[in-house]
Structure 1
Amino acid sequence: MKLHLSDEVFFYPKMSKQAYIFFLFLFSLNLLQAQTKVGGVVNDDAGKTVPFANVVFASSSTGTTTNEDGEFYLQAEEDYDTLVVSFIGYETTRIPLKSSVNLNMEITLNQEASSLDEVVIYRGKTSKKNNPAIDILKKVWENRRKNGVRAFEQYSYKEYEKLEFDINTIDSSLIKNPLFNGMEFIFDYADTNAVTGKTYLPMFINESVYKVYGDNKLNEKKEVLLGNKNSGFNQNRNLIDFVKEVYDDYDIYKNYIKFFDKSFVSPVSTTGIDTYNYVLSDSAYIDNKWCYNIVYYPRRENELTFKGDFWVNDTTWAVKNINMETTKDVNINWIKQVYIEQDFKVLNDSVFLITRDFFMADFALNKKKKSKGIYAKRTLLYDEYEFNNERPTSFYKQPVYNPQAQAYDRSEEFWEENRMEKLNEDEQGIYVMLDSLTKTRAFNRLYDVATIIQSGYVDFEGWDYGPVYSTFGFNDVEGVRTRFGGRTYFGQSDPWRIEAYGAYGFKDNKFKYGISAKILLDQKSRLIVGGGNRRDVEQLGTSLTNSTDVLGRSLASSSLLNVGDTDKLSSINLSVFAIEMEPLKNFTVRLGANYRELKPASEGFSLDYYVDEDRTIIDSEINQTEISTIFTWTPGRKLSGYGVERNVVNEDEFPTLFLNYSLGVKDIFNSDFDYKKVQFFYNQPLLVGGLGRSNLSLEAGKTFGAVPLGLLSVVPGNQTYFALYNTFPTLDFYEFVTDSYTAVHLSHNFNGRFLSRIPLLRELNLRELIGFRAVWGDISEESKSIDASGLPLVAPDSDPFYEYSFGIGNILKVMRFDVHFRGNYFDNPDARSMAFTIDFGFHF
């Protein structure tokens, strides 16, 4: 069967913030169209603000509720002459509207004497017993599996998506800012946000149309892009993919709603009863169905929760409409507000289908009311549902290469036919404004600066200089080190790329360099051929799992602050050639060959080994040829672009499995050793509901055959004060050396779940961190027998070495501080029982 949903979908917007400025300017922009705008604050007769009061236009379903400060903003495209304000325990008040724009309103509600107790209950914690709202919520839980596309074995529908970035809080100081010299015309396109009441300026818009197919029996889903159109930063797919990935798919019936790498408790879930207060607020007919309105708000501050309301049908117990807004004290960085609105349509008496999904985030440096920032908005519309049309399993197979180039060149007739919601005049003007803006010199200067900050590269039309952050470094061998490099870059889907750098140490007075190149030969199989050469100074033993990146950044160049002596650096001459392909989506096979020349770079450090069985002849350099076969599987990984390099969209959201089989071959290019090596790596990020986020990684490996120190697997220590991935902060470099090893790393971020409940600390939005690391390893007698380095070759073979750590994150929103404790092996020379690390980064 096939269903076309009508356009008469119930729309009940909930606007929860107040803005008191910019509206005279706004009014002048909107004289040509009918529109009603109201805003202000609601107080009781004692002068206290009334949170969560209902504010609606008379004889309409267009309304909102006041926020926790009693403030509201509401607008509609139609003309209205009366505003109705109501709240449980108060007399309903009707306010005549003198004009189409009424702002800074101060509305007073008078209490009903007979309902004072209800008001107290409503404002504080509501009861979990004898609460009609919770009784209705339990009905929703009992019937939730019958709602939506999950009720059918197969489904398909058409989806229209609109993404938009806007600069918000446009005022005279911003308009007159010298930053916008030469771009003043853009402010003619400013508009008012229907949720917050702020004046904003659109800067980017992207439209997409998809056909979506799914099979609940096979647990498969497939999206086919029919059309894509954007303006603004139309060459920056990273920006588009960031916006899309921020708004991951979420289901209000599940216990947690995930976005910005956080898990928010859903107000409709079974866990919501311990997290939210619920109040039965109203009842009314919606689309000829009797529905109940339930208002909800958090029981505690600073948790990952929402406030808002939802409508529930009285027979199917399905949610008809829901509004979710983060509270102002929610523990999330760089976000002032997140607003979600979903509308559902009745298919029959037992099934409701989503028809509209709106998501908006207000990005800002702080949460002050007048702070300027960026709106990121996504609107999804759904139609043309079809059900129980079975397709073979092969239909859902995801192609490795699928650029769908024709989808990016659709005619205007296509968009007129496939848009489920027409662009308003302001949105239509975005295309005109942004096309003009990208031609101005002033804008391109700003865009270039932003690109440098984001990518670390300076664009010179086909050649990028960078990374700029690696220009200077320091280590014991080179002293002050300067590095200059770059890459070819014509676009995000370049079929080939060359990278190169040169570096110079002012202490050793030596020049170093690296160069690599790779080319995409076949897009369908992603057949890539690449190679390169690097001669540099490096700290070996900083990772158990081998890196195959010929230009991998050396830890030696960033060791300005260290714990103890960093006197075990090596000189490396590495040449690599590799062939790579992707036979299945997110499954990569890489065949490679490399040749290494290793020798000590630090004075007093040795990689010596015995050449003969009698242990009389010593060599201090290692020449080694190695052939490797690497398999990498990253299920669930999302990528952008289809060139030789692609951007990972959903970083840290998918597992990684890595298997490497390496063969050391003697006598080829004067290679010194025969050996075999197997390495396995597994990394799994985990969202643990309301308890935060974990990350688990496992590493294991074994070398078959006798090899010297330079080819052994060194347990990675960390002698810096900075956090380094999968290292052991209380270990020194070369403290443990193995040829067989198994390691585990487990970390967990509670996202402030406990600190948010402590007075005084609550306002700092700190986050609790814990970690555990352990490694077991062994070293063969054959490898020990050829070692002549003079270093004690010790492996954690009697008991696994382990560490544990405690930390505080989100310090000043950008810093993390951890204290690490050694668990055993205190008798090792110069063993450190404790270590401190810091880390910097921008995290939500």
Structure 2
Amino acid sequence: MNKPLLGYSLRLYLLVLLCHLPLFQLAAQQITLQGKVIDGESGLPMPACNVYLKNHPHIGTATDENGTFVLTFDFVRDTLLIEFISYQTIEYPLLKAQSQTGLSFTLKPDALSLEAVVVTPGENPAYRIIREAIKRKDEHDKRRLEAYDYEAYNRIEGYVKSSDKGISKLRFVRDMRRVAAGYDMLRTAEGDTLIPVIVNEVVSRVYVKHSPYKRREDVEAQQLTGIGIEDAPALQDILSNTYLTDYNFYRNQINILGKYFPSPLANGWWLVYDYELEDSLEVGGFMCYQLKVIPLREEDIAFTGRIWITKEDYALRKVQLHITPNANINFVRSLAVEQVLAPTQSGVWLPESMFFETEISEFTDLIPAIVARTYSYYKNYHINQAYPNSFYEIREKKLPSEKAQLEKLRVYRAIDGDSTDFRPQIHRLIDTLNQVPSVKRYTGIIKVLSTGYLRKGVIDFGHYARYYAWNNIEGHRLGVGLRTNYHLSDKWMFKGYVAYGTQDERWKYDLRLYHVLSRKRFTLIGARHLADIEPLIQLDQRDDLPELFIASNRFLDLASRRPFFRTMNSVWIDSRLSQLVRAQLTLQQSTLEPLYPFAYYPAPSDTQTRNSSIHTAEVIGMLRLQRAVRLTRDANLDEVDIANRNPRLTLWTILGFKGLLDGDFQYQKVYLQLAQKNANVFGIGHANYSITAGYIFSDIPYPLLRTHLGNNTPILIERAFNQMNGFEFVSDHFVAVHYAHYFEGFILNKLPLIRRVNDKLEWRLVGSVNAVWGGLRASNKALLAQQTADGQPVEGFSELSFQKPYVEVGYGIDNIFKFFRVDFFHRLTYLDSPQAKPFGIKFSAEIKF
């Protein structure tokens, strides 16, 4: 039920959010500054002076050998800084959005400048500074604080860069470009027009506590506008979370775009970076060493740029970093992050401001580039003011009046240096674009492709994957589905589908009703009535299977997948008890009607078989422990935990009752799972893993036991055993492990012979292992009949042993043509099985960075 953020992302305006993107500010009008810098002592021109904007240091240049400079940029209300070592810094306010030429600046020697840095033969002097900064980083890291809180302003913007190719030639893009072209502030230095597709401004109060970790965020103001925005309440919650822009360079790894970048202050810095001591100068009142950060290999996922470390206590004052052009990150043309930190009385340094900018290049020639920017301010810190744990628990979002929100936003817009009317202009422009007929048609198509549903008023029609299938049981399967949306009610939702098979002449349907009891506790109740065909492997799966995987099992040879016609009635309640604990309780009654030769004995001592249906009555309890960052609900009212990559521990208990609601069996099942996605593993890439253990205490027919998920298709499924046949092994007690390690370029970028080739291919190595230890008690094996009452043979299954687990290993190449992945699997055990496949190749495709 905890769906990833990717489910929101395929719409054009949300490609920005795939990365949990922060961004830079866009200014109002392009201007050019042209001038000359002169030495105040000699009167001679000064080359190599740094010329940049104080609050936007990414906008800058240097003087040439004649001391002259030319700086062209989109106007922001800021201050131009001119710096040179051992000279006083000049500050020149920019008050008018007009080009200025003929400027002249005179730099005077600084009597209070740092003493000269003497470089002698031996160790690089930058290494000593880095070692000292790392030695003291625990003193300056905010994680040392017991608690802190602050006020934050985040502005997130997403733009499409128009071009003359691909979909930019289509009418809806031309219409958008024509409207946006009327705004000078949306024109780049290269003459391209930036088409705004989303802008979001948020002011919030953030409370953080360590030991145990707790986080609360109260949104005080927000304005969100986007093209084709659907499910706006959930999207507002997602974009209001400052956790997405919380970068801490005192950590060893920084997660950006789902990639782990080594921090310039990482403990193992010598494996990734080299440094040069460039300068000693004042940065915002603090005397600092200026170090150049140089990745050892340009194709690695690492930073390059500059950092400023204070001389007095070796704290990180400022970072100005970006990626190299050869970094092995798909589609990312540029990425830059800048952060300024300030000290507190505790000795910890906390962020003052943060900029982040990335340009996502064309996925193909059909799709234009996307520019994503964030600009953040942090102020009014309170240090070590801790609250009781109950203070940090989940709270219902309550915003003040619209007037009060706009007043708070205006304050930060003024601090930002923008024209006070610029942000409202962008909001109004996006509203205008939303009303363009061609844009409305296109965004409607994008919504259908990304969500599977077509919105018509208060009804969404879909999911399209359930509308048609053909198989050897149903023949042509025709269906239709729908759900209500929040325009009808934000507390109630009906969802369902109806299908009919032309060969079996039988109706199938799935009807569900949801109701939100409490938004504070994320409490949801629901009811469901199902009558449909399901393959055996879907009967005992605790995690939701992908929609397309379920749909694919309805095509072609459905009869070989041991299908049952399942009739099920269930009611449930699901609640988030705290930031750490989520619980669910379900009452469920099912009837399983076999659609293949199947018979069983009701008990091991029985001699009379049953060919009839299996009836069950169950109480299912689920308890999940996972630290929640910020919660919202998606279009299905399912819980979404924003940007959460923390491990989760889940316990399921299933109790079956004989005689209750015609239940045939008394049983108990217990499953325990530890799982995590995108886990950082010693700084060497990342991994997805899950460890699941289960025990079934009773004697029940094998359709109610654990059928391990095999994969007979050529499509890669990480959660499956890819060289195991679909229904090969059944267990009543087991331990299953799935582990996939994404090495990124860690290996292929370092092997001498392969590295030269891979500089162009940009392939990435993936390694995986899937294993399951299991067993089946003799009493459960005895329940399977050899033949049905009318003499048809009943197909059996294999069993596992804890002394001999099923094991397969895989190795693959990811990022082929930036989309495709090929994995090669070797099955290592149970090779004597008649259907065993010792070797196999699986394929997958995914848009990834």
TM-score, normalisation: structure 2: 0.80
Q: Is the 8 Å Cα contact of residues 678 and 702 (structure 1) preserved in structure 2?
A: yes
Q: Aligned AA for 1:821? A: H
The equivalent position to 1:458 in structure 2, one of 454, 458, 463, is 454
Q: Does the residue aligned with 2:683 lie in a helix, a strand or coil?
A: helix
Aligned position for 1:635: 627
Cα distance, 1:207–1:140 mapped onto 2, change above 3 Å:
same
1:588 is aligned to 2:610 = no
1:345 is aligned to 2:342 = yes
Q: Does the residue aligned with 1:164 lie in a helix, a strand or coil?
A: strand
Query: Gaps (5+ residues) in structure 2?
Result: 1-25, 36-47, 63-68, 86-97, 102-118, 787-793
Instruction: Give, in whole Å, the separation in 2 of the partners of 1:684 and 1:59.
Output: 41
Aligned position for 1:806: 811
The percent identity for this pair of structures is 24
Aligned position for 2:194: 200
- Once the 2 structures are TM-superposed, how far is the Cα of residue 732 of structure 1 from its aligned partner? 1.5
Cα distance, 1:326–1:376 mapped onto 2, change above 3 Å:
same
Instruction: Give, in whole Å, the separation in 2 of the partners of 1:531 and 1:696.
Output: 32
Instruction: Give, in whole Å, the separation in 2 of the partners of 1:64 and 1:341.
Output: 12
Q: Is the 8 Å Cα contact of residues 245 and 650 (structure 1) preserved in structure 2?
A: no
Instruction: Give, in whole Å, the separation in 1 of the partners of 2:320 and 2:783.
Output: 70
- Once the 2 structures are TM-superposed, how far is the Cα of residue 238 of structure 1 from its aligned partner? 5.6
Aligned position for 2:105: none
The equivalent position to 1:677 in structure 2, one of 669, 673, 677, is 669
Alignment of structure 1 residues 611-622 onto 2, 5 Å = 613-622=605-614
Aligned position for 2:796: 792
Q: Is the 8 Å Cα contact of residues 540 and 704 (structure 2) preserved in structure 1?
A: no
Q: Does the residue aligned with 1:696 lie in a helix, a strand or coil?
A: strand
Cα distance, 1:157–1:128 mapped onto 2, change above 3 Å:
farther
Q: Aligned AA for 1:75? A: F
Cα distance, 1:515–1:481 mapped onto 2, change above 3 Å:
same
Instruction: Give, in whole Å, the separation in 2 of the partners of 1:807 and 1:840.
Output: 13
- Once the 2 structures are TM-superposed, how far is the Cα of residue 586 of structure 1 from its aligned partner? 5.1
Q: Is the 8 Å Cα contact of residues 732 and 777 (structure 2) preserved in structure 1?
A: yes
Aligned position for 2:825: 820
Cα distance, 1:780–1:409 mapped onto 2, change above 3 Å:
farther
Q: Deviations over 1:351-396 (max 9, x none)?
A: 644211011121222599x983111211110112233434334333
Alignment of structure 1 residues 223-262 onto 2, 5 Å = 223-233=217-227, 236=232, 247-262=244-259
Instruction: Give, in whole Å, the separation in 2 of the partners of 1:595 and 1:662.
Output: 12
Alignment of structure 1 residues 476-487 onto 2, 5 Å = 476-487=472-483
Q: Is the 8 Å Cα contact of residues 729 and 799 (structure 2) preserved in structure 1?
A: yes
Instruction: Give, in whole Å, the separation in 1 of the partners of 2:120 and 2:502.
Output: 72
Aligned position for 2:535: 539
Instruction: Give, in whole Å, the separation in 1 of the partners of 2:817 and 2:121.
Output: 37
Cα distance, 1:618–1:818 mapped onto 2, change above 3 Å:
same
- Once the 2 structures are TM-superposed, how far is the Cα of residue 587 of structure 1 from its aligned partner? 2.5
Alignment of structure 1 residues 344-363 onto 2, 5 Å = 344-345=341-342, 352-363=349-360
Worse-matched range after superposition: 146-155 or 457-466? 146-155
- Once the 2 structures are TM-superposed, how far is the Cα of residue 185 of structure 1 from its aligned partner? 2.3
Aligned position for 1:700: 693
- Once the 2 structures are TM-superposed, how far is the Cα of residue 416 of structure 1 from its aligned partner? 3.0
Worse-matched range after superposition: 131-140 or 178-187? 178-187
Query: Gaps (5+ residues) in structure 1?
Result: 1-25, 39-52, 88-98, 103-125
Aligned position for 1:142: 135
Instruction: Give, in whole Å, the separation in 2 of the partners of 1:72 and 1:272.
Output: 36
Cα distance, 1:280–1:198 mapped onto 2, change above 3 Å:
farther
The equivalent position to 2:566 in structure 1, one of 559, 568, 572, is 572
1:449 is aligned to 2:445 = yes
Q: Aligned AA for 1:412? A: L
Aligned position for 2:657: 665
Instruction: Give, in whole Å, the separation in 2 of the partners of 1:523 and 1:450.
Output: 29
Instruction: Give, in whole Å, the separation in 2 of the partners of 1:750 and 1:147.
Output: 31
Q: Is the 8 Å Cα contact of residues 822 and 833 (structure 1) preserved in structure 2?
A: yes
Q: Aligned AA for 1:719? A: N
Instruction: Give, in whole Å, the separation in 1 of the partners of 2:748 and 2:639.
Output: 36
Q: How many residues align?
A: 758
Q: Does the residue aligned with 2:317 lie in a helix, a strand or coil?
A: strand
Q: Deviations over 1:1-29 (max 9, x none)?
A: xxxxxxxxxxxxxxxxxxxxxxxxx99x8
Aligned position for 1:6: none
Instruction: Give, in whole Å, the separation in 2 of the partners of 1:267 and 1:252.
Output: 8
Instruction: Give, in whole Å, the separation in 2 of the partners of 1:267 and 1:237.
Output: 38
Instruction: Give, in whole Å, the separation in 1 of the partners of 2:179 and 2:74.
Output: 27
Q: Is the 8 Å Cα contact of residues 573 and 598 (structure 1) preserved in structure 2?
A: yes
Alignment of structure 1 residues 343-492 onto 2, 5 Å = 343-345=340-342, 352-366=349-363, 372-396=368-392, 398-399=393-394, 401-406=395-400, 410-417=404-411, 420-424=415-419, 425-490=421-486
Aligned position for 1:42: none
Aligned position for 1:606: 598
Q: Does the residue aligned with 2:408 lie in a helix, a strand or coil?
A: helix
Q: Aligned AA for 1:750? A: F
Aligned position for 2:33: 36
Q: Does the residue aligned with 1:584 lie in a helix, a strand or coil?
A: coil
Instruction: Give, in whole Å, the separation in 2 of the partners of 1:712 and 1:196.
Output: 64
The equivalent position to 1:768 in structure 2, one of 762, 765, 768, is 765
Q: Is the 8 Å Cα contact of residues 774 and 800 (structure 2) preserved in structure 1?
A: yes
Q: Does the residue aligned with 1:270 lie in a helix, a strand or coil?
A: coil
1:521 is aligned to 2:514 = no
Aligned position for 1:752: 745
Q: Is the 8 Å Cα contact of residues 59 and 73 (structure 2) preserved in structure 1?
A: no
Q: Aligned AA for 1:226? A: E
Q: Deviations over 1:741-790 (max 9, x none)?
A: 22121211111221233111232222211111221222222222221153
Instruction: Give, in whole Å, the separation in 1 of the partners of 2:55 and 2:480.
Output: 65
Q: Does the residue aligned with 2:268 lie in a helix, a strand or coil?
A: helix
Q: Deviations over 1:92-132 (max 9, x none)?
A: xxxxxxx9499xxxxxxxxxxxxxxxxxxxxxxx9996212
1:285 is aligned to 2:277 = no
1:731 is aligned to 2:724 = yes
Q: Deviations over 1:804-839 (max 9, x none)?
A: 111111222222221221111122232221222222
Cα distance, 1:222–1:585 mapped onto 2, change above 3 Å:
closer
- Once the 2 structures are TM-superposed, how far is the Cα of residue 495 of structure 1 from its aligned partner? 1.0
Instruction: Give, in whole Å, the separation in 2 of the partners of 1:187 and 1:746.
Output: 50
Q: Does the residue aligned with 1:433 lie in a helix, a strand or coil?
A: helix
Cα distance, 1:712–1:615 mapped onto 2, change above 3 Å:
same
Q: Does the residue aligned with 1:595 lie in a helix, a strand or coil?
A: strand
Higher relative contact order, structure no. (Cα contacts within 8 Å, ≥ 6 residues apart): 2
- Once the 2 structures are TM-superposed, how far is the Cα of residue 465 of structure 1 from its aligned partner? 1.3
1:500 is aligned to 2:496 = yes
The equivalent position to 2:51 in structure 1, one of 41, 45, 56, is 56
- Once the 2 structures are TM-superposed, how far is the Cα of residue 410 of structure 1 from its aligned partner? 3.2
Q: Is the 8 Å Cα contact of residues 162 and 193 (structure 2) preserved in structure 1?
A: yes
Q: Aligned AA for 2:416? A: E
Instruction: Give, in whole Å, the separation in 2 of the partners of 1:37 and 1:510.
Output: 79
Q: Deviations over 1:259-310 (max 9, x none)?
A: 1111011223333333223222223333343323222222213211122112
Aligned position for 1:75: 73
Cα distance, 1:786–1:82 mapped onto 2, change above 3 Å:
closer
- Once the 2 structures are TM-superposed, how far is the Cα of residue 239 of structure 1 from its aligned partner? 5.2
The equivalent position to 1:837 in structure 2, one of 812, 821, 842, is 842
Aligned position for 1:130: 123
Q: Is the 8 Å Cα contact of residues 723 and 840 (structure 2) preserved in structure 1?
A: yes
Q: Deviations over 1:574-625 (max 9, x none)?
A: 22222333332353322222222223324xx324445794413432421222
Instruction: Give, in whole Å, the separation in 1 of the partners of 2:611 and 2:601.
Output: 6
The equivalent position to 1:778 in structure 2, one of 775, 782, 785, is 775
- Once the 2 structures are TM-superposed, how far is the Cα of residue 561 of structure 1 from its aligned partner? 8.1
Q: Is the 8 Å Cα contact of residues 579 and 628 (structure 2) preserved in structure 1?
A: no
Q: Deviations over 1:485-526 (max 9, x none)?
A: 121113598211111112234444433222111212333444
Aligned position for 2:158: 165
Aligned position for 2:268: 271
